[in-house]
Amino acid sequence: MPAKRSAERKGDVPTGTGTFTAGDTISGGYTYKSRFEDGPGSNPEQLIAAAHAACFSIALSNLLAQAGSPPDSVHTDATVTLRPVDGVPSITKVALVSVGQVPVLDEAVFVEHAKAAKAGCPVSRALAGVPDITLEASLAP
C-alpha cells in the first residue's frame, strides 16, 4: 500500500517556513531554526526518527511473536543526527534504543531478535546509506 503525504515550503531558507502532514492526525511546521539550530518546531529528521522507531518496533514485535514469545510491549527511541559532510547537511547516524517487556524470554535471545529486526525493517533498509546505525536492545527489569 503506497504511503503518501505532503509538505509545502514558503520563502527562502533562512526566513521561510514550511508545513507538513503525515497520517490522519500528524502535522507540523518547520523552519531553518527548527532544522539546523535549536529553534521551536519540527524537522524532517524527527519524522525519520519516528518512522524508524515505529518500523523497528513493529518488526521486532512480529519476530518475537513468530518465535512464540509475543511481547507485552516494545518501546523504541530513535535519534537521527544531521551533520555537514563535505559542506552538505547529511544524516550521519541513527541510534536505536529499544526496551522490551517480554514474559519468559532470555535477554540474549531478545537482543538477537532485535538485531534481526534492525536488519529487516523496511525503514532500516531504506536508510542503508546512513554510515552509522546503532542498536541498544534490552529487556525491561
Average pLDDT, integer, range 71-88: 96
Same domain, residue pair 60 and 129: yes
How confident is the model at residue 38, as a pLDDT?
Answer: 87
Rg of the chain over all Cα atoms, to the nearest angstrom? 17
- Judgement on whether residues 15 and 67 belong to the same structural domain of the protein: no
- Domain of residue 103 covers 44-139
| 95 part of a folded domain | yes
pLDDT in tens, 49-59: 999 999 999 99
Question: Side chain identity at 114, as an amino acid letter?
Answer: A
Residue 1 has pLDDT above 80, yes or no: no
CATH code of the domain containing 73? 3.30.300.20
What domain count does the chain have? 2
Q: How many CA atoms lie within 13 A of 135 on its CB side?
A: 21
Euclidean distance between CA atoms 138 and 24, whole angstroms: 32
1 lies in some domain: no
Q: Is residue 86 part of a domain?
A: yes
Confidence of residue 25 (pLDDT cuts 50, 70, 90): confident
- Do residues 98 and 30 share a domain? no
Per-residue model confidence (pLDDT) at position 130: 97
Q: Taking the model in full, what pTM does it have?
A: 0.92
The helix-helix angle for 44-66 and 107-120 (nearest 10°) equals 130
What is the percent of the chain where pLDDT is above 90?
87
Considering the domain architecture, whether residues 49 and 32 belong to the same structural domain is answered as no
Which pLDDT score, from 0 to 100, does residue 90 have? 95
